[in-house]
C-alpha cells in the first residue's frame, strides 16, 4: 500500500512538471523542467531540476548585448542620413553647392541681370538653410541618444533591484531544499533583459549565489546592487560634451574611462552621441568654413590678402558648430534690404578696398568668376573630419555623404551578422533547454499508464484487506 501510494504521489508530481513544461512551450525564458525519481533510502521521491547550458546561455547574453548596441548605432546613423535624403531629390549639401555653382555661372554670363543675381543669392540662402537644418538634426540625434542613455541607466538600476530579489529567492530556496527551477528561470530572464542594456558576465558561487560584472570588469551586483549613474543634458549644441556613465562613481564610458564598456545599448548610444554624430558635425562645419572662406571679400590693397566674410557669414568667433549658424550676408539679401549686385561688385564690407567693380560697369563679371574658381579650389581638411586631405567643397560634400552612407551600410551589415549569431545561439539554447511539445505529450501518456498501474495495485491491496477483514468477521 505504501509503495502504491508513493507511486501515485510521484506520478502527481511528475504530471505537474509535464503540465508546467507544456504551459511554457511558447515562453522563451522558460527552461524545461525534469522530474527525476529517487528510489533509494525510503519511499519513492521526485526531485525537480531544470535543463540548462551555461555556455550557450552566456553566448546568448553576449550576442544580445552586441546586437542591442549595433542596433542603436544603425538607428542613429539612419536618423543622420535624413540630412542627405534621396539623391534624386537634391536635398543634400552636395546638391545645394552644385546649385550655387550653376547660379554663379548664370550670373557671370549675364552680370547685368538682377534676377540672376537674386537667384544666386537665393541658392546661397538655400545652401545655408540646408547646413543649418542638417546641424540641427545632428544635435537632435545627439540629444535623443543622451536621453535614451538616461533611460537605459534607469532600466539597469531597476533590473538590478529585481535581480536582488530573484537571487535571494534562489539562495533561500537552495538552502531550504525547495524547488528553485522557476526562480532560476526568473533570474535568467532578468539577466537577458539586463544584457540588452549593458554587456555582462556572471559568476555562480556556493549556494547558487550569483554575482554580475559588466563586460569591462566593473561589478554590477555582488550581494548588493551597485549604483549606475548618469547626468543627462537637457539641451545639445555642437560644443556640448556628453556626460559619462558611472558605476559606483567610476566612469565606464568616454575618454575618462580607463576600461570602457564594450557592448550593450549604452555603448551603441554613446557611439552615436560622441563619435558618429560628432564626426558628421565636424564635416559640415569644415564645409561651412570653406564656404565662408571661398566667398570672403579680400582686401585688394593688401599684400597678405586679408579677407572678411562676404556672401556667407556667421555670428560668433568659434568655428565649432558653424554649420548651425552660417547665413547669407544681409548686404546681399534683398529680403533683408540688401543689394544682390554686391555679389557681382563686392562691397559687403565697408571700405573701397573691398569694392571690385569700381566703375559700376553692368558687364563686370570678374568677381563672379573669381568666386566660381574659389568654390572649385581644393581646400585642406583635417584628419578628424574623415574627409579627403585636400578637395574642393563639392567633392568634400560628396565625400561626407558617401562616408555617412558607407558607415550606415557597415552598421546595417553588422546588425544583420549579429542577428544571425543571436538566432543561432538562441536556437541552440532552445534545443538544449526548451520544451518539445510532442515529447511532453508522450510523457503525459506514459504517466497516465503509470497512474493506472498504481491505481490498480492500490485497488488490489484494498481487495486483499477487505477479504482479510471479512475472514476475521
- pLDDT for 43 equals 62
Task: Answer whether residue 72 shows pLDDT above 90.
Answer: yes
Task: Answer whether residue 261 shows pLDDT above 80.
Answer: yes
pLDDT in tens, 11-61: 677 777 777 778 777 777 788 777 776 766 666 666 777 878 889 999 999
Segment 351-355 mean pLDDT:
89
CA distance to 66, 205, 225, 264, 469, per residue, from 193 (Å): 13, 22, 16, 11, 64
- pLDDT for 376 equals 95
- pLDDT for 42 equals 61
Task: Answer whether residue 371 shows pLDDT above 80.
Answer: yes
**More confident site: 198 or 29:** 198
pLDDT in tens, 201-260: 999 999 999 999 999 999 999 999 999 999 999 888 888 999 999 999 999 999 889 999
pLDDT in tens, 84-105: 877 667 889 999 999 999 999 9
Task: Answer whether residue 7 shows pLDDT above 90.
Answer: no
pLDDT band at 122 (very low <50, low <70, confident <90, very high): very high
pLDDT in tens, 418-443: 999 999 998 898 888 877 777 767 77
Segment 154-175 mean pLDDT:
96
Closest CA to 223 of 160, 175, 174: 160
Does the pTM surpass 0.75? The reply is yes
Segment 362-391 mean pLDDT:
95
CA dist 104 and 108 (Å) reads 6
Task: Answer whether residue 450 shows pLDDT above 80.
Answer: no
With cell 570602457, the residue in question is: 260
**More confident site: 399 or 315:** 399
Task: Answer whether residue 137 shows pLDDT above 90.
Answer: yes
- pLDDT for 173 equals 93
Task: Answer whether residue 447 shows pLDDT above 70.
Answer: no
- pLDDT for 433 equals 81
Angle at CA of residue 215, ends 211 and 216, nearest 5°: 105
Segment 160-170 mean pLDDT:
96
Segment 119-131 mean pLDDT:
97
- pLDDT for 167 equals 96
Least confident of 54-68, 78-92, 336-350, 371-385: 78-92
Amino acid at each position: 500500500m505504501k509503495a502504491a501510494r508513493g507511486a501515485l504521489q510521484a506520478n502527481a508530481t511528475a504530471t505537474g512538471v509535464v503540465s508546467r513544461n507544456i504551459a511554457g512551450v511558447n515562453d522563451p525564458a522558460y527552461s524545461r523542467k525534469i522530474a527525476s525519481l529517487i528510489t533509494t533510502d525510503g519511499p519513492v521521491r521526485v526531485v525537480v531540476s531544470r535543463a540548462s547550458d551555461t555556455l550557450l546561455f552566456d553566448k546568448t547574453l553576449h550576442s544580445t548585448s552586441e546586437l542591442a548596441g549595433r542596433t542603436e548605432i544603425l538607428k542613429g546613423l539612419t536618423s543622420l542620413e535624413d540630412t542627405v535624403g534621396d539623391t534624386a531629390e537634391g536635398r543634400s549639401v552636395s546638391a545645394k553647392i552644385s546649385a550655387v555653382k550653376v547660379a554663379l555661372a548664370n550670373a557671370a554670363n549675364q552680370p547685368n541681370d538682377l534676377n540672376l543675381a537674386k537667384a544666386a543669392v537665393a541658392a546661397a540662402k538655400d545652401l545655408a538653410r540646408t547646413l543649418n537644418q542638417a546641424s540641427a538634426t545632428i544635435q537632435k540625434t545627439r540629444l535623443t541618444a543622451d536621453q535614451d542613455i538616461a533611460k537605459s541607466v534607469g532600466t539597469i538600476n531597476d533590473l538590478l533591484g529585481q535581480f536582488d530579489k530573484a537571487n535571494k529567492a534562489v539562495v533561500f530556496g537552495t538552502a531550504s531544499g525547495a524547488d528553485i527551477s522557476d526562480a532560476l528561470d526568473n533570474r535568467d530572464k532578468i539577466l537577458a533583459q539586463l544584457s540588452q542594456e549593458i554587456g555582462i558576465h556572471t559568476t555562480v558561487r556556493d549556494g547558487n549565489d550569483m554575482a554580475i560584472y559588466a563586460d569591462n570588469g566593473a561589478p554590477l551586483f555582488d550581494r548588493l546592487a551597485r549604483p549606475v549613474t548618469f547626468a543627462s543634458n537637457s539641451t545639445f549644441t555642437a560644443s556640448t560634451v556628453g556626460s559619462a556613465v558611472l558605476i559606483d562613481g567610476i566612469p565606464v564610458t568616454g575618454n575618462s574611462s580607463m576600461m570602457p564598456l564594450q557592448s550593450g545599448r549604452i555603448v551603441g548610444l554613446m557611439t552615436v552621441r560622441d563619435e558618429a554624430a560628432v564626426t558628421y558635425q565636424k564635416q559640415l562645419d569644415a564645409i561651412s568654413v570653406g564656404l565662408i572662406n571661398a566667398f570672403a571679400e579680400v582686401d585688394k590693397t593688401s599684400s597678405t590678402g586679408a579677407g572678411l566674410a562676404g556672401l556667407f557669414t556667421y555670428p560668433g568667433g568659434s568655428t565649432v558648430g558653424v554649420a548651425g549658424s552660417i547665413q547669407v550676408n544681409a548686404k546681399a539679401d534683398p529680403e533683408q534690404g540688401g543689394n544682390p549686385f554686391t555679389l557681382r561688385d563686392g562691397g559687403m564690407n565697408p571700405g573701397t578696398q573691398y569694392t571690385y567693380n569700381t566703375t559700376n560697369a553692368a558687364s563686370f563679371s570678374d568677381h563672379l568668376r573669381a568666386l566660381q574658381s574659389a568654390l572649385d579650389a581644393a581646400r585642406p581638411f583635417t584628419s578628424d573630419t574623415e574627409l579627403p586631405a585636400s578637395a574642393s567643397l563639392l567633392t568634400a560634400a560628396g565625400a561626407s555623404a558617401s562616408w555617412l552612407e558607407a558607415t550606415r551600410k557597415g552598421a546595417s551589415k553588422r546588425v544583420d551578422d549579429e542577428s544571425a549569431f543571436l538566432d543561432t545561439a538562441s536556437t541552440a539554447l532552445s534545443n538544449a533547454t526548451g520544451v518539445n511539445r510532442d515529447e511532453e505529450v508522450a510523457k503525459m501518456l506514459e504517466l497516465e499508464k503509470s497512474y493506472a498501474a498504481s491505481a490498480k495495485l492500490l485497488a488490489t491491496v484494498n481487495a486483499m484487506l477487505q477479504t482479510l477483514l471479512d475472514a476475521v468477521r
